[in-house]
Amino acid sequence: RKEVEQDPGPFNVPEGATVAFNCTYSNSASQSFFWYRQDCRKEPKLLMSVYSSGNEDGRFTAQLNRASQYISLLIRDSKLSDSATYLCVVTGTNAGKSTFGDGTTLTVKP
């Protein structure tokens, strides 16, 4: 079993839709959690951190459920520019290094 697992998708949604991604992690001792965005053939960029209380940044909401060991990302009112691959990242495992999920691909269509 991978340390961090994501549904690879692809998720194809119309503009304006709400879409949610989940990510599960196996190490209960994990310390911190992030969502990254990666555009085709570009570097991953930090989208947002994920806190136990949940956090929101505009149209994006991230949540952490430590008991069930998963994190989620909700995107409301999808835009064409949201089309990308979203990577779930967990740290505090594996000698302190970050573990990246393989990503979930989102395509937002007109």
Residues in the site for other proteins, rule: CB under 8 A? 31-32, 34, 36, 41-46, 49, 87, 89, 91-92, 95-98, 100-103
Amino acid letter, residue 67: A
Closest CA to 89 of 35, 20, 22: 35
Q: Which is nearer to other proteins, 63 or 104 (CB)?
A: 104
C-beta of 100: minimal distance to other proteins in Å? 5
Euclidean distance between CA atoms 45 and 43, whole angstroms: 6
C-beta of 98: minimal distance to other proteins in Å? 6
C-beta of 103: minimal distance to other proteins in Å? 6
Report strand pairing: 60-65 vs 104-109: unpaired
What are the residues whose beta carbons fall under 8 Å from the beta carbon of 37, sequence distance 6 or more? 44, 45, 47, 84, 85, 86, 87
C-beta of 97: minimal distance to other proteins in Å? 6
Q: Which is nearer to other proteins, 21 or 103 (CB)?
A: 103
Euclidean distance between CA atoms 82 and 71, whole angstroms: 19
Q: Which is nearer to other proteins, 7 or 102 (CB)?
A: 102
Q: Which is nearer to other proteins, 9 or 17 (CB)?
A: 9
